[in-house]
Amino acid sequence: MKFFDLDKWHEIYFALRKNPLRTFFTAFGVFWGIFMLMIMMGAGEGLYNGASSDLGDMSTNSVFMWTRRTTMPYKGFPRGRFFRFNNSDTKALVDNIPEIKYIAPRLQGWDRNGNNNVIRGERTGGFNIQGDYPEINLIDPMNITQGRFINYNDINELRKVAVIGQRVFEELFDPDEDPIGEYIQIQGVYFKVIGLFQSRRSDQQAEHENQAIYMPFTTLQKVYNYGDMVGWYSITAKDDIHVEVVENKAKELLRQRHSVHPDDDRAVGSFNLDKEWSKMTNLFGGIRGLVWIVGIGTLLAGVIGVSNIMLIVVKERTKEIGVQRAIGATPFNIITQIIFESVLLTAIAGYFGLALGVGLLELLNYGLTSSGADSSMFTNPEVDFNKAMLALFILVISGIFAGMIPARRAINIKPIDALRDEN
């Protein structure tokens, strides 16, 4: 049977058109199956994108460490002792743990708490003040929209410079002002603005970050009498190393340096982002698997419907098939005709289901974007092109198998019996 045999395609067309209501409902089962698969896949990706956007571009192979009270006495020190990290801890971590890629000692100056801690002219505001190293913008990047971020010249020379968030700019400056080179007063000390940044996140954390002011870590220590204290560490492991390795080594080293019992697991607190990220990706991996199971099951239900209808069609066309066999049609001709009908029905229904599903997701995405609603939990619902094509391919293959049983029944009909059939 030639693929572009126009007469055969006319036969298929008129066979499907003969009972339009039956054809419609048969096709609708396939249409609905792939339509729901697209919707579920897109919704799953929307949830995943929303969860991912909460992290911005933060390195997921990171760990954050801070001090807490000890829970075990050790070397004459009582239980419940509090201690602080210091500058020498930073050097020790770098010197003794080669698996570290980036380390950023951090220090919290002041937070907002409803108090105004920043002044510029007649304007005041309460903002989060952070002392940081340049590496923090590699671990948890932000968009520098004007000027620059802190560099090591600022660190080494204890420069009184500051990088302000977008919200800080909006409260302290006029919209058409250039903040770079201007001065702001932080807790009584003047700082020169060298940069303006905007958070890459899309949730409430973005609003929190945009209300921050970053200054050199060493400047915050010196100007505000923090001595050599380090508030906490942000650490990223090298690309081929799990951050858990760095976490365990760092905790062991820090416990040794501060005379903390080796078995006191609570004295050095930590948050392993890699572990949390793995939990989330595993969860969404399970959701994707469930979507495929449910979607393929729905598709198969539609395809089984196609197969059943094709069996009825073959029974109705018993005499026609007998005539074809009698005038020389080979079993291959009969099989291909039945399978082509099945594939055509499933492919057309599947295409419309896929197109409508993807179109609806695009419309939903447009609505979320244009409305300006807070969609941090559900962002950019989409279907990967390769996955959509895979679903359509599976559907076509299923259409072939759906036509196989009716086709085999058709070729098993003897011409003489078919010609006697009264149906």
Asked whether the beta carbons of 251 and 65 are under 8 A apart, the reply is: yes
**Rounded Cα–Cα distance for residues 204 and 31 (Å):** 40
Task: Give me the pLDDT at residue 101, please.
Answer: 94
The CA–CA distances, whole Å, from 215 to 136, 211, 212 equal: 12, 14, 10
Range among 127-136, 195-204, 343-352, 382-391 rated most confident: 127-136
What is the largest distance, in Å, between two alpha-carbon atoms of the chain? 106
The pTM (predicted TM-score) of the whole model is: 0.68
Place of tokens 């005379």: 259
Choose the weakest-confidence range: 315-319, 344-348, 363-367.
315-319
**Rounded Cα–Cα distance for residues 285 and 297 (Å):** 18
Asked whether the beta carbons of 310 and 338 are under 8 A apart, the reply is: yes
Compare 410 and 44 and report the one with higher pLDDT: 44
The helix (run of H) or strand (run of E) holding residue 102 is: strand 100-108
- 188 three-class SS: coil
DSSP letter at 142? -
* pLDDT of 353 above 90: no
pLDDT tens sequence across 223-271: 888 999 999 999 999 988 889 999 999 999 999 999 999 999 899 999 9
pLDDT tens sequence across 291-343: 788 877 877 777 777 777 776 666 666 666 666 666 666 666 677 777 777 77
Banded pLDDT at 1 (limits 50, 70, 90): very low
Taking the CB of residue 182, how many other CB atoms lie within 10 A of it? 15
- Tell me which residue of 411, 380, 400, 334 sits closest to 12, measured CA to CA: 334
Taking the CB of residue 73, how many other CB atoms lie within 10 A of it? 13
Banded pLDDT at 106 (limits 50, 70, 90): very high
Q: List, in order, residues 6 or more apart from 349 with CB less than 8 Å away.
A: 27, 28, 29, 30, 31, 34, 302
Burial (CB < 10 A; 0-12, 13-18, 19+), residue 145, is exposed
Domain ranges of the chain: 6-55+278-420, 141-224
Banded pLDDT at 359 (limits 50, 70, 90): confident
Compare 14 and 96 and report the one with higher pLDDT: 96
pLDDT tens sequence across 125-184: 889 999 999 999 999 889 999 999 999 999 999 999 999 999 999 999 999 999 999 999
CA angle 266, 270, 274 (to 5 degrees): 140
* pLDDT of 114 above 60: no
Work out whether the CA dihedral 376, 382, 384, 385 comes out positive or negative: negative
The helix (run of H) or strand (run of E) holding residue 326 is: helix 318-326
Task: Give me the pLDDT at residue 69, please.
Answer: 93
* pLDDT of 374 above 80: no
DSSP 189-258: EEEEEEEEEE-S--SHHHHHHTTEEEEEHHHHHHHTT-TTEE-EEEEEE-TTS-HHHHHHHHHHHHHHHT
Work out whether the CA dihedral 372, 377, 380, 382 comes out positive or negative: negative
- Tell me which residue of 20, 2, 31 sits closest to 302, measured CA to CA: 31
Work out whether the CA dihedral 55, 289, 383, 40 comes out positive or negative: negative
Q: What is the CA radius of gyration of the chain?
A: 34
**Rounded Cα–Cα distance for residues 306 and 291 (Å):** 22
pLDDT tens sequence across 58-104: 778 899 999 999 999 988 889 999 999 999 999 999 999 999 999 99
CA angle 415, 416, 422 (to 5 degrees): 100
Choose the weakest-confidence range: 125-129, 217-221, 283-287.
283-287
**Rounded Cα–Cα distance for residues 248 and 161 (Å):** 35
Task: Give me the pLDDT at residue 286, please.
Answer: 83
Range among 141-145, 370-374, 412-416 rated most confident: 141-145
- 186 three-class SS: strand
Instruction: Please give the mean pLDDT across all residues of the chain.
Output: 81
**Rounded Cα–Cα distance for residues 242 and 228 (Å):** 30
* pLDDT of 395 above 50: yes
